[in-house]
C-alpha cells in the first residue's frame, strides 16, 4: 500500500517540523518498498568489509527495499546467504542505507542494526512473499562472486531455457533456491535527512531514543 502525503506535508514548506520529516521519511520508505518505480526502491547498502586477499575495505552495493514498517521500525532486504555481505554483516551487524530522490533532491542516510534470518520462520515468510521471478536469482548453483566462463553461466538451466515472461516465473510453488535465501531485517538507529533544493539547503539528524526518533537541525 502506498502512503499518501497529507496536504500540510509539502517539501516546499519551510515550516516543516522535525516530526514532519520523520513522517515523510517513513512515507517515502513505504512507497519505495511497495512500488519499484519509486526512487527509494533501490538504496545503496554499505557494510564494513572483511579482509580477504588484502586489507578490509568498505563495501557498497545497490539492493532492493522489500518492506518498510514504521510501527516495527524495520526495513527488509533479501540476499543470497552465500554472498560476501553475509560474512560482513555477521562480523559487524551495523550498516548504512543511502536513499536518494532526484526529483526532490533529497538524500536519506539510515544507520541500522541488522538481524539475519536464514533458516527460521521470518525467512520463510519473506521467501513466500518473493515473486517467482525473484526466486530464480537464488537458484544459481555457484556462489556470488565466483569466476564463470560466460555472462550467463551462473543461471540454472531452466532460467536460460524459459526467459521472461513464462516458465519458472509463473510457478510460485517452486521452492528451489530457498536454501540460498536470506532476509535482512534492519532496525534504523539514526536518520540523516538532507534536502539539496535551492536557494537554501536543509539538514536534520535523528537518533532512536527510547521509543522514538529525537531530532535536531544541523548545518548541511
Whole-angstrom distance, CA of residue 161 vs CA of residue 180: 22
- Whole-Å CA distances, 152 to 37, 111, 147: 26, 35, 11
Whole-angstrom distance, CA of residue 96 vs CA of residue 88: 13
Q: Parallel, antiparallel, or unpaired for β 44-47 and 67-69?
A: unpaired
Mean pLDDT of 94-110: 97
Tell me the fold of 18-121+184-217.
Pnp Oxidase; Chain A (2.30.110)
Convert the pLDDT of each residue in 131-143 to its tens digit. 888 888 898 888 7
Mean pLDDT of 187-203: 94
Phi, psi of 188 (to 5 degrees): -60, 130
Element (H, E) at 88: helix 84-91
Lowest-pLDDT choice from 120-124, 152-156, 178-182: 152-156
Centroid of chain to Cα 198? 29
- Domain regions of the chain by residue span: 18-121+184-217
Phi, psi of 135 (to 5 degrees): -65, -30
pTM of the model: 0.86
Whole-angstrom distance, CA of residue 174 vs CA of residue 111: 35
| pLDDT tier at 197, thresholds 50, 70, 90 | confident
Mean pLDDT for the chain overall: 86
| pLDDT tier at 7, thresholds 50, 70, 90 | very low
Whole-angstrom distance, CA of residue 123 vs CA of residue 117: 5
pLDDT at 22: 96
Amino acid at each position: 500500500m502506498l502512503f499518501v502525503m497529507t496536504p500540510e506535508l509539502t517539501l516546499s514548506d519551510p515550516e516543516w517540523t522535525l516530526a514532519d520529516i520523520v513522517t515523510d521519511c517513513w512515507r517515502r520508505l513505504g512507497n519505495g518498498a511497495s512500488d519499484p518505480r519509486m526512487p527509494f526502491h533501490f538504496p545503496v547498502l554499505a557494510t564494513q568489509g572483511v579482509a580477504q586477499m588484502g586489507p578490509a575495505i568498505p563495501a557498497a552495493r545497490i539492493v532492493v527495499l522489500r518492506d518498510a514498517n514504521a510501527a516495527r521500525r524495520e526495513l527488509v532486504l533479501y540476499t543470497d546467504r552465500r554472498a560476501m555481505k553475509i560474512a560482513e554483516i555477521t562480523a559487524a551487524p551495523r550498516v548504512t542505507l543511502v536513499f536518494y530522490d532526484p526529483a526532490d533532491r533529497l538524500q536519506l542516510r539510515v544507520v541500522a542494526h541488522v538481524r539475519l534470518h536464514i533458516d527460521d520462520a521470518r525467512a520463510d515468510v519473506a521467501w513466500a512473499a518473493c515473486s517467482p521471478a525473484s526466486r530464480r536469482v537464488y537458484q544459481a548453483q555457484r556462489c556470488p562472486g565466483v569466476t564463470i566462463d560466460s555472462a550467463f553461466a551462473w543461471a540454472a538451466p531452466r532460467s536460460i531455457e524459459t526467459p521472461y515472461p513464462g516458465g519458472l516465473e509463473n510457478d510460485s510453488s517452486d521452492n528451489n533456491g530457498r536454501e540460498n535465501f536470506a532476509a535482512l531485517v534492519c532496525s534504523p538507529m539514526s536518520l540523516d535527512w538532507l534536502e539539496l533544493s535551492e536557494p537554501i539547503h536543509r539538514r536534520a539528524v535523528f537518533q532512536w531514543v527510547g521509543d522514538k526518533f529525537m531530532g535536531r537541525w544541523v548545518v548541511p
